[in-house]
Amino acid sequence: MSLRHGLGVGDAEGVTPPPCVAFVIFEGFQPLDLAGPYEVFTHPGEYLCQIVASASGPVRSAGGLCVQAGHSVGDLDPSGIDTLIVVGGNGVDEARHDSALIRWIAVAGTSARRVASVCSGVFLLAAAGLLDGRRVTTHWRREAQLVREHPEVSVDCDPIFIRDGHVWTSAGVTAGMDLALALVEDDFGRHVAHDVAREMVLFLRRPGSQSQFSVPLWSAQPSSDRIRVVVEAIHADPGARHGLPELAARAGLSPRHLQRRFTAELGVPPATYVERVRVEAAGRALVEGDEPVEVVARRSGFGTAESLRRVFHRHRGVAPSEYRDRFRSAKEYV
C-alpha cells in the first residue's frame, strides 16, 4: 500500500499523486534551512519537492552557495501545492519587500494543506497575511523584531517549533529538520519518520516543546574533571540532592572553592545550573508522561507542585499544567 494513502488526495482512478512540497528561497537565504528539510522530505520517496523563487535559475545564499530554483513564482501553479515551506536567512529583510513573491506566498499559503516556515522565513508568511492571530516561533535573535513589526502575531521563541492549526513555524537551521520530521510523521506515521531519522543519523523527533535555550546551548562546557563530574551527576539525576555541600563533596572541593570554580567554568553558579536542568527535566516529564504535576515536581527536585509552579512560570512563562496542555499532544508535535 502506498504511504500516501490517507492524505486525502487522489485522482478519479484512485491513484494518489505525490504531494508537492514547495520550498521558497530568495537571495541571501540560509542554505541549511533549505537543505536539511529538503533531504528529510526526499528520503521517504513519497513527495515531489520543488524549489521556487522570484525567478527561476541560480539563487545565491547568504554564504555564497548557489542553488538552482526550478520554478519562478510566475510558472508554478500555487493551487497544486500540498505543503508550502518558506526558508529563512538574512536576505529575508529584502525579500519581504518583493511584492510578486509575497503575493504568490499569500495565494499558495491560502490553498495549501500546510504552511511552514524555518527561522526568519516567518517574516514572509507574516507579510503575506498568513499568520494573523496565530502563535508562532522563530530564531530567538529575531524575536524582538518579529514582536515589534507584527503585533498581530503571538510570538513564543522558547520552543524549537510550533504548530498552530495548519501553520507550522520553527527556529533556525537544525530545528527545521525537526520540523520536517514532524511533518513526515504527520503524514505517514512514526515508523516512517523513524526510518528517515535513522537513515540520516538524526535524533528522532526532538519535540517542539524543546527549548531553544536548552542546557547544551546556554551553558559552557566544564574544563576540568572535577566540575565535569558534578555536571554529569546533575544531569544523571536532576531530582537528587544537589545542594552546594553535596556537590562539593562529589567534586572533592570545599563549598566555597566549588562555587568559584563552577561559576568560572560554566558561567552560572551551581544553584542556577541545577534549577535550569530541573526545569528542563520537568518540562520533558510533563510533555511525555501522564504523572500528576505533584509527582513531576517531586521527581525533578522541586519538592512540591507549588515550588515547581513558581520556578516554571519564571522560566517558561506558563504554569506546568498549561505547559502540558499546550505541548503534550503527540498529534500536534508541540
Confidence of residue 54 (pLDDT cuts 50, 70, 90): very high
Q: What is the mean pLDDT of residues 244-258?
A: 96
Name the pLDDT band for 219 (thresholds 50, 70, 90). Answer: low
Q: Which domains does the chain have, with CATH numbers?
A: 20-199 (3.40.50.880), 215-327 (1.10.10.60)
Half-sphere exposure of 44 (CA within 13 A, CB side): 27
Q: 311-321: per-residue pLDDT in tens?
A: 988 887 778 98
pLDDT given at position 13:
56
Where b means 16+ CB within 10 Å and e means fewer, 203-232 reads eebbbbbbbbebbeeebeebeeebbeebbe
Q: What is the mean pLDDT of residues 220-229?
A: 86
CB within 8 A of 216, min separation 6: which ones?
none
For 298, other C-beta atoms within 10 Å of its C-beta total 17
Q: How far is CA 31 from CA 252, 281, 307, in A?
A: 47, 33, 43
123: left (phi over 0), alpha (psi -120 to 50) or beta: alpha
Q: What is the pLDDT of residues 125-177, one digit of tens each?
A: 999 999 999 999 999 889 999 999 999 999 988 788 899 999 999 988 788 99
Question: At 80, which amino acid appears?
Answer: G
pLDDT band at 207 (very low <50, low <70, confident <90, very high): low
Q: Would the pLDDT of 3 be above 60?
A: no
pTM above 0.85, yes or no: no
Residue 249 pLDDT exceeds 80: yes
